[in-house]
Amino acid sequence: PHGLNARRPPTLSYEEAVQLIRPGNAVYIHGGAATPGKFLDALADRARTDTSLSGVQLHHIHTETGQNYPLFAEDVSSRFCVNSLFTGSNCRAAVNSGMADYTPVFLSDIPLLFRTGNIPLDVAVLQVSPPDEHGFCSLGVSVDCSRAAAEMAPHIIAVVNPNMPRTHGDGIIHLSRIEALVDCDAPIFEMDPKPQSDAIKRIGKYIADELVEDEATLQMGIGAIPDAVLSCLGSHQRLGIHTEMLSDGVIDLIEQGVVDNSCKTKFKGLTVTGFCLGSRRLYDYVDDNPGFAFLDIQYVNSTFTVARNHRMTAINSCIEVDLTGQVVSDSIGSRIYSGVGGQVDFLRGAALSPGGKPILAMPSTTSKGLSRIAPTIHNGAGVTTTRAHVHFIVTEYGIADLWGKSLRERAKALINIAHPSHREELERDAREKLGLRL
């Protein structure tokens, strides 16, 4: 999304830039590690002194600011309507209290919401790399659905940060497309690796040893389980990456030659992603690195794109699975925890890929010792992945292959990978509540 005229937008302060937001505007906010936190702070400050600012709609995926979400402050929250398309930790309480909205949507469909006008945008607030000598900036670590927002919003405010990597791919935007610039020289958000319990490590080893083949193309979701899988792949060969997100774990595999993308059928030789989230080491590694392609998430996560990859192996985590194979990944009971994301995009694509494997994984119990494998999903929970989509479910006790299995066979397979202390009760519930003869 760019033009090539010589126009250069003015550089404004944060206080001046937020004046470009008008009452009733629909505003896209760059997400992930590219979240412009200081812009949100300034917007909240304006709302405290400008009583005319109201009815502003904000749309975004998870926003990583390293702090509380400033627009949820008690003295300004009534002025804004926040719509989370994937809920992060700093929006979770607001969504579950009714202060903010949550839209369940496949990650691949979010650009379509913008491009079709289903969610019309007036302004896109982006955080970008400094322009090159030709006037081109980069959307950096978060191209995902931000490219579509940059295409569709008539007004763009860009926070220009030298700490934002310049990434190759679809995230290029010319200065002439931008209405105003804001200079910023602050570190972008970094995410520390999540600690891996013994159960998580065992899950990672099961998946790496039993399910990931040499020459596979991998998609990893976010969290400790995908990281645990990556840490166990050191003896594999000729792996490829086609994923919605990247974390630090891929760097060592690339440097060891385990990941070389040589057997991919789409973008052979390139690591393909929509965004990355991790440490400064990761951001420095992808900076101006032609071995990576950061692409529009509508394309990256397209089931048709995913299915064309060689031995596509999709690895995602979930919260709860019932004995028929229904999977809950975005809620805990009726409380929204995250979002639909790209789980179904990749699971279905992997299922259609020659030699592909759709994998879902979780510890067998919660931190309170409750079984994550349940006779029925908890009241109010939403099914993210249907029982018809499910293939492999993995816990620290093994692997259940549910594809093509009857309800009775599924229940038996899932009980076998449940925590031993819950198996007897699950067998009883399968018979008494579900009428299954085990």
Mean pLDDT of the chain: 96
Residue 1 scores a pLDDT above 70: no
Our measurement of the distance from residue 180's CA atom to the centroid of its chain's CA atoms, rounded to an integer in Å, reads 28
- Write out pLDDT tens, residues 303-331: 999 999 999 999 999 999 999 999 999 99
Pairing of strands 392-395, 245-246: unpaired
Do the beta carbons of residue 211 and residue 399 sit within 8 Å? Answer: yes
pLDDT classification of 66: cutoffs 50, 70, 90: confident
Active-site annotation holder among 64, 244, 320, 396: 244
Residue of 431, 420, 433 whose CA lies nearest to 377: 433
Q: Whole-prediction pTM value?
A: 0.96
What would the mean pLDDT of 156-175 be, rounded to a whole number? 98
Q: Which DSSP string do the residues of 350-365 spell out, in sequence order? A: HHHSTT-EEEEE--SB
Q: How far is CA 10 from CA 4, 53, 160, 166, 175, in A?
A: 17, 23, 12, 22, 10
Residue 3 scores a pLDDT above 60: no
What would the mean pLDDT of 365-394 be, rounded to a whole number? 97
Concerning whether 244 is annotated as a catalytic residue, the answer is yes
For residue 67, what pLDDT is reported? Answer: 79
Tokens of 22: 């008008």
Q: How far is CA 277 from CA 59, 82, 370, 424, 432, in A?
A: 20, 23, 30, 41, 45
Burial class (CB in 10 A: 0-12, 13-18, 19+), 237: middle
Spatial separation of the C-alpha atoms in residues 220 and 242, rounded to whole Å? 9
Amino acid identity, residue 319?
I
Tokens of 245: 């997100």
